[in-house]
Amino acid sequence: MDRTRFSVEDDSSILDEMPLMMSEEAFENEESDYQTLPRARLAQRRRGLGWLLLGAWKLLCGSCCDCLLRLCRRRKELKARTVWLGCPEKCEEKYSKNIIKNQKYNILTFVPGVLYQQFKFFLNLYFLVVACSQFVPSLKIGYLYTYWAPLGFVLAVTMVREAVDEVRRCRRDTDMNSQLYSKLTVRGKIQVKSSDIQVGDLIIVEKNQRIPADMVFLRTSEKTGACFIRTDQLDGETDWKLKVAVGCTQRLPAVGDLFSIKAFVFAQKPQLDIHSFEGNFTREDSDPQIQESLSIENTLWASTVVASGTVIGVVIYTGKETRSVLNTSSAKNKVGLLDLELNRLTKALFLAQVVLSIVMVALQGFVGPWFRNLFRFVVLFSYIIPISLRVNLDMGKSAYGWMIMKDESIPGTVVRTSTIPEELGRLVYLLTDKTGTLTQNEMVFKRLHLGTVSYGADTMDEIQSHIVRSYGQVTHQASSSTTGGTTPSGKSQTAGPRVRKSVSSRIHEAVKAIALCHNVTPVYESHGNGETESAEADQDFTDDNRTYQASSPDEVALVRWTESVGLTLVNRDLTSLQLKTPSGQILSFHILQIFPFTSESKRMGIIVREESTGEITFYMKGADVAMASIVQYNDWLEEECGNMAREGLRTLVVAKKSLSEEQYQDFESRYSQAKLSLHDRALKVAAVVESLEREMELLCLTGVEDQLQADVRPTLELLRNAGIKIWMLTGDKLETATCIAKSSHLVSRSQDIHVFRSVSNRGEAHLELNAFRRKHDCALVISGDSLEVCLRYYEHEFVELACQCPAVVCCRCSPTQKAQIVTLLQQHTANRTCAIGDGGNDVSMIQAADCGIGIEGKEGKQASLAADFSITQFRHVGRLLMVHGRNSYKRSAALGQFVMHRGMIISTMQAVFSSVFYFASVPLYQGFLMVGYATIFTMFPVFSLVLDQDVKPEMALLYPELYKDLTKGRSLSFKTFLIWVLISIYQGGILMYGALLLFESEFVHVVAISFTALILTELLMVALTVRTWHWLMVVAELFSLACYLASLAFLSEYFDRSYITTWPFLWKVSAITLVSCLPLYIIKYLKRKFSPPSYSKLSS
């Protein structure tokens, strides 16, 4: 079997003859080779004449634009730098200013920028052209204000809104840039603005103050030589991080001595990675010169906040070169599907308008200056495309946003992008993070496994009694050994033959290892002034005011558990660590080395020396995949890890190794050398550490549970019943992700799960995809590495298969992979996607999706600030989509089509009027009548459609299946649009012909009869469209009618006042209105009776 696989991998020509099964007939199709796969065929088809004309042209234009942009924005190359302490003038080159700039425009670019953003939409550009045409005397139709007033209003509203946003951004930037900091100089402290800070400056940052630029940490007021910082604004994590001052500068007697030494920092070039840094600190004036290696723990990145003590740092990167600015991606402007559909419909209307104008000119017989007449007709019929469409929709979107934020069932919800609320009603794919989104990110210690014996939540008291007993013996032995020999017990044990240890001693060692191997620091609240301080050795270690700080909630859960069984971590600084035994005795340990956890190594280690015995021990804990090859051979680890993962527990393997003094000294010299190298430092350091990680003694396996968020199961079930496909994208390991998928009912009990085997090349991916194709209706679980291989060779086929699955789980995903999956779904399915997450690692996915939802979680606010919608709990997603998504889409669809109908009906009347009067390009209604028609006479009832709803919220949540209809986009389609076109033609024709038939003597009567009937028809049509009445709708109808009746008194130039108060006028208007509206009411009644929509059965 291995031989055949080897040949498959090697010979890609054989692969090309071995197609992916596009059907159940296995490999029989001889004529189909890899070239017949859909994507390959697509590529070939693209290269025809069409590609040459369109694709090649696009390519040429695109590359020219890119080239120009690159020339304009040519950035200087980022380089490594040498920074002298307190001497900015010694810098070899000019570095960027330390200013924060979030503004989109400046004074010069504001007006052109806003205008470009507006006129790139077809609708607005069209109106600009029509309005400009009115300056040409031969094309002038009516008064200038009838065209420029609405356009001016739209632009004014947009500009004011943009200006307000811009002023807010400017104020925020000015506040940040003008914050004052203390700068150390030879003459003492001076105050400088944040924007005046330069590379090489020595800056003092107080507690709770923001760090203004990227710095190397030189000194702190804390005795330990370390401080805590909060990084939630940088990486989204709410845990405090421990930072260490450079030893050489921390040891100086006074702050002023920083100027008496001659020292510099060598820093690598500015990079994106916020979790790594390589540099060296060199002091030249000592003999020999002192050199210290700098790593991430010696840095203070901009936008983080000092949480303890006062710090002094030397600035190494400023402004655009800081880590926080480099990692800020500009969010794309999101445009909703409904807006794109309406844009398509306006283009269709424009085409109809041009055709209608050509027909009019043709019926004239192309006489005289027919080209000018054609343009006049285009302007006359310009009301087919209503400018009020944009205004109404934008106001509608703001109203939906306000309703979402005021909904008491989903408190704390914030709408950050007001342009896409309708997207919530069109979603087909929901991509969700796991930790903190589906789960609470609150860890609880559940299980300890020692190989032969396992302890669960109900047997923890046994461990406690073992610990009490073993530490009782230890103290007893210690007191007796002071009189006898002082040989440490551990050393005599390793010298003799290896004896099987008792359960009690194994528990003792396991708990001690868990209590020592971590990065947790106990923090004590002093009651006097609420200041937080790291504990000092002489402080009273009371349990009630101790909290633990660490970068991982897993570690805090482990340390809390050791405290519960009797071994408490009471103090920690950079070099030492103290534990308290059940009897109250303090055990001190000297920290010799720490190897922090990284996502590559998946493990962390610590070397400690016990002060009472002098024993040196290397402890390590990490993921089972990383630790399996490091620990001594055993037959239980793999099986038990699998069992714990099936219970939904996160597993960690703990091991140890005793070191002699000689072994440690040898290691330390090699390690220090590796840390100082400037090339491939990370590789060299890893190689030295790996020399220690051999044949370690396996102590135990721990299981920690991450509890599910409230109501996750019913919410996921609701979304699944609504026809939404849910994909879980997580950085966690495969087993844990699979467990959470089962426990949260993302995968239903009856469904099979297909775990996609790990593949590393095209041959393996090919075979595995074929194996997966044979499975039906099963959930897919795949790791990030395998996913990358599949997408490299079989992107189209993989996405096609994955989209058929009821649920997909992608584990070990990087943030960029999450965003890549979102983009893939958008490209291959053309469906709307929604991404939901709570941490900084979900931001790229949230920004890439059509609709991004952020949860304010334990990991901070970064995701919720970057999202379009911010919620406080995952369960709120159900109501947000089923109720608000439904209402927003249905209302906007009705509103958009109604506003179009309002324009089409008046254009139909104009067409009938022109055709009756010998195809003259003369306007039917002039001046204020047109402005009033689009605004005060009909605006309020039409806009009141944003209060309409077809189904009560309770019903929408009870029957999520109703949501499936929305994704098909049936509320706004060419079919519904055509129905409205026919209604407009019918009503426009009736109103105009009716008025022409019934008028008696004067033309002014035609205008009065038809316009009054038109206003009444519009008000009645709103009533016909409404599905659920709201009291404000009734008020809007009555108010508009009252406004029209009141205006009749002032519009004497358009209406004959003596005529409009007579009976003939009233009955003619009533008759025409009745004929235009009654048939539609009858049709609606018959349709509701014989072919009711799905929701009407529920609402009745």
The catalytic residue positions are: 433
Place of tokens 């209809």: 965
> In Å, what is the CA distance from 268 to each residue of 200, 317, 597, 774?
15, 10, 22, 52
* Sheet of 778-783, strands arranged across: 414-415, 869-871, 851-855, 832-837, 427-432, 725-729, 807-811, 778-783, 752-755
Going by C-beta distance under 8 Å and a sequence separation of 6 or more, which residues neighbour residue 101? 173
- Residues across the chain: 1100
* Sheet of 81-84, strands arranged across: 81-84, 263-267, 279-283, 290-294
What is the distance between the alpha carbons of residues 140 and 290, in angstroms, rounded to a whole number?
84
- What is the distance, to the nearest Å, from the Cα of residue 455 to the centroid of all Cα atoms in its chain? 40
What is the distance between the alpha carbons of residues 240 and 694, in angstroms, rounded to a whole number?
32
Contact 1051, 971 (CB under 8 A): no
Tokens of 527: 């009651």
SS3 28: coil
What is the distance between the alpha carbons of residues 825 and 725, in angstroms, rounded to a whole number?
11
∠1045-1051-1053 over CA atoms, to 5°? 150
Q: Residues 474-478: contacts with CB within 8 Å, 24+ apart?
A: 474/581, 475/581, 475/583, 475/585, 478/612
> In Å, what is the CA distance from 746 to each residue of 736, 777, 808, 833?
13, 14, 9, 17
DSSP string, 243-310: EE--HHHHTSSSGGGGGTS-EEEEEPPP-S-TT---EEEEE-SSSSPEEEEE-GGGEE-TT-EE-SS-
> In Å, what is the CA distance from 893 to each residue of 389, 594, 897, 938, 974?
11, 61, 6, 18, 12
Q: Is the dihedral of CA 665, 667, 668, 670 positive or negative?
A: positive
Phi first, then psi: what are they for 331, rounded to 5°? -70, 145
Contact 568, 579 (CB under 8 A): yes
Going by C-beta distance under 8 Å and a sequence separation of 6 or more, which residues neighbour residue 420? 334, 335, 336, 397, 850, 851, 868
What is the distance between the alpha carbons of residues 838 and 845, in angstroms, rounded to a whole number?
11
E strand or H helix at 535, and its extent?
A: none
What is the distance between the alpha carbons of residues 74 and 170, in angstroms, rounded to a whole number?
26
The DSSP bridge partners found for residue 219 are: 312
What is the distance between the alpha carbons of residues 765 and 8, in angstroms, rounded to a whole number?
11
* Sheet of 568-572, strands arranged across: 454-455, 439-449, 697-708, 649-659, 616-622, 603-610, 586-595, 576-580, 568-572
Residue 271, judged by CB atoms within 10 A of its CB (0-12, 13-18, 19+), counts as middle
Secondary structure in 3-state letters for 325-350: HHCCCCCCCCCCHHHHHHHHHHHHHH
* Sheet of 214-220, strands arranged across: 188-193, 180-185, 202-205, 311-317, 214-220, 299-300
What is the distance between the alpha carbons of residues 196 and 184, in angstroms, rounded to a whole number?
14
Give the single-character DSSP code of 751. -
SS3 178: coil
Q: Is the dihedral of CA 531, 532, 534, 538 positive or negative?
A: positive
What is the distance between the alpha carbons of residues 336 and 347, in angstroms, rounded to a whole number?
17
